[in-house]
Chain A
């Protein structure tokens, strides 16, 4: 599956035509359109194990995919009511700006340029990441500082491409960038020896390593050269939609913090006397209604998708081939950075 350039240029052109013609965005527009069409159109990665990847049956899985499903569960009461649009790094923002997708959940780094100049808003952080390097063990390289003169495969239109430029400039080292439109192409190029190094967000290095001919011959170098907070993105100007995407993610984190998961949520809902828990699960107050969804929105998310820990474990953590430790993505009270404002 390859996007020819002319195809992507024409996609960009069509998307532009959309912007040329469309009227201004109104708050509430996206929510109304999602409710009336009955599904959330979610932009995801074309194939990144652990984040968004379609299995043999065409069923999408991954932590980014779960965020899409959580939004569908909150808004429509049904986590399966999602249609996925696989996007390359290059296509993603145009797809969102033009209204082709309702939200973007595609390992996308929150940066000031994207927030301020692209007409989009980041609705939170699904995964705290940082950029790293993957090398073949037989090169004998132990540190990124030894990469002077290396050829590096990378995907175009990413923060990765820019961080790499910064890092090598700052360390006065030379490098040859070999830039591909798709992640798979960059990985394949690295695997065939076109490059000495493959660089991307560290989590993705682990994910992509699984695809190599012999994964155990490759080593992720210890240096993390950037901050890559990855999160869901929505169009600017539609605060109602922004809120529900933001709070769907917060709901998953709050559920973990309060010990509710897909297994026990039904039971807890029946028995709980804890006022905070009652608010979370919509037994008390009108939090859902204020967000323009039903009051049992968190219950729907947790029972159908799970809390943050469950999603993390089955997609990228111990329950997955990636086997990534929680690290920065542990809850704040366990020494990590995941912290959600309260449902109050």
Chain B
């Protein structure tokens, strides 16, 4: 009964706030509603994963911003995780120098505010690059200058579909092979070196497919025309700086999490594995890491969430993420602060929840299976 009252009160309060807001907006002559999402945006965006031009709608600008946020978060998470695991393991290395260097890395990057690191990469490092005319050239088709990192862009030609098809086939084959190998080991005790064979399949099949279809791929090489390079692919300095800052910073936290996770597995486990005749490699892979992962995953999740939310610092350096494009430019050009901020908050909430859900699912999978 009491709970029903509370819920009722909360709902009534919510309705009151919404009504009051709409009344206020109307009496102040401020536009409200979501109609603006379909009107023409009129401004350009430097980086877009989908088709976008000044003639596109504000709604489309929202997707451009969201995808840019997801792009930097996804790449950032991958880089931070790889770097974090390497540093975390290095921190425990028996080699004094390696361990100390890892410790120094962690202490440095964990203790400097992220925004400062971002400014360091963007303003001090990437702004010091030469102008397009004086680009640093690698090989003769990769260029680095103050406007970005330009590489050739692969252009698929007729028959290209064979290659992705081969990749898919390779993945399926590897999955089947793994299941077969497990079953065989369970039944006969014979191990099978899935890793080498899988690598062979995963690389071999696509290469074979490429050869069979006559390498149906050409390259669009960037070239200096007028003010800037055109053609090819470009990684803009704003994205580079954001990736560097986010992954280096977050990696220092992940490294500590990894170290704690490994230390949490008692040394007795390793000794027990050795005395059963397991070699160090399989011991790490089959005994230590699975147990460490149970300790690592929950805090790792919150690092992933942090990284995603921190990506909103993008607006400080002109990277067109959701906050910069939507909660920045769109908000300002339409003046519809309430709608825009509400949508933005809902998006961050959704993305965070999705990441948590995924990590919870993964955590369950990795959890100790009681037999």
Contacts and interface: CB of A to CB of B under 8 A. Distances in A.
Given A19-B24, A235-B28, A181 B316 contact: yes
Contact of B27 (A25, A149, A176): A25
Contacts of A169: 53-55
A4 interface: yes
B335 interface: yes
Nearest to A121: B29
Interface stretch (B78-86, B94-102, B149-157, B307-315): B307-315
B17 interface: yes
Chief secondary structure at chain B's binding surface: helix
Contacts of B177: none
Contacts of B341: 9, 12-13, 16
A151 interface: yes
Given A5-B312, A5-B314, A150-B227, A93 B28 contact: no
A194 B230 contact: no
A166 B336 CA distance: 22
A100 interface: no
B30 A151 contact: no
Interface string B220-238: 0000011110100000011
Determine the interface band of chain A, counting residues with CB < 8 A from chain B. 35 or more
B312 A6 contact: yes
A114 B31 CA distance: 10
Contacts of B316: 2, 4-5, 181
Interface stretch (B104-112, B292-300, B319-327): B319-327
B44 A175 contact: yes
A250 B341 CA distance: 38
A284 interface: no
Contacts of B131: 193
A9 B324 CA distance: 10
B329 A179 contact: yes
Given A16-B341, A169-B54, A179-B318, A90 B332 contact: yes
Given A12-B337, A25-B28, A118-B30, A193 B146 contact: yes
A119 B331 contact: no
Interface string A175-192: 111111100010001001
A94 to B, nearest CB: 6
A188 to B, nearest CB: 8
Nearest to A163: B42
B169 interface: no
Nearest to A188: B123
Contact of B335 (A93, A149, A192, A237): A93
Contacts of B327: 5, 9, 12
B332 A157 contact: yes
A224 interface: no
Given A89-B332, A192-B146, A179 B324 contact: yes
Contacts of B29: 116, 118-119, 236-237
A112 to B, nearest CB: 12
A19 B315 contact: no
Contact of B127 (A117, A166, A194): A194
A177 B225 contact: no
Interface string A45-68: 000000000000000000000000
Interface string B269-313: 000000000000000000000000000000000000000000011
A162 B228 contact: no
Contact of A165 (B43, B227, B336): B43
Nearest to B336: A117
B184 to A, nearest CB: 54
A113 B213 CA distance: 56
A16 B343 CA distance: 14
B333 A15 contact: no
A13 B54 CA distance: 28
B91 interface: no
A177 B335 contact: no
A180 B42 contact: no
A114 B20 CA distance: 23
Interface string B49-67: 0000111000000000000
Contact of A161 (B230, B329, B335): B329
Nearest to B225: A149
Contacts of B55: 169
Nearest to A117: B31
B21 to A, nearest CB: 5
B364 to A, nearest CB: 32
A336 B118 CA distance: 48
A123 to B, nearest CB: 15
Interface in A103-133: 113-114, 116-119
A134 to B, nearest CB: 14
B334 interface: yes
B173 interface: no
A177 B225 CA distance: 17
A17 to B, nearest CB: 10
Given A90-B331, A149-B226, A189-B127, 4 more contacts: A2-B115, A6-B312, A113-B335, A149-B228
Interface of B: 17, 20-21, 23-25, 27-31, 42-46, 53-55, 115, 127, 131, 146-147, 225-228, 230, 237-238, 312-316, 318, 320, 323-324, 327-329, 331-338, 341, 344
18 contacts: A4-B316, A5-B312, A19-B21, A21-B20, A24-B28, A25-B27, A90-B331, A113-B334, A118-B31, A118-B335, A147-B227, A149-B228, A150-B228, A151-B227, A165-B42, A166-B42, A168-B44, A185-B318
Interface of A: 2, 4-6, 8-9, 12-13, 15-16, 19-25, 89-90, 93-94, 97, 113-114, 116-119, 139, 147-151, 156-157, 161-162, 164-166, 168-169, 175-181, 185, 189, 192-194, 196, 235-237
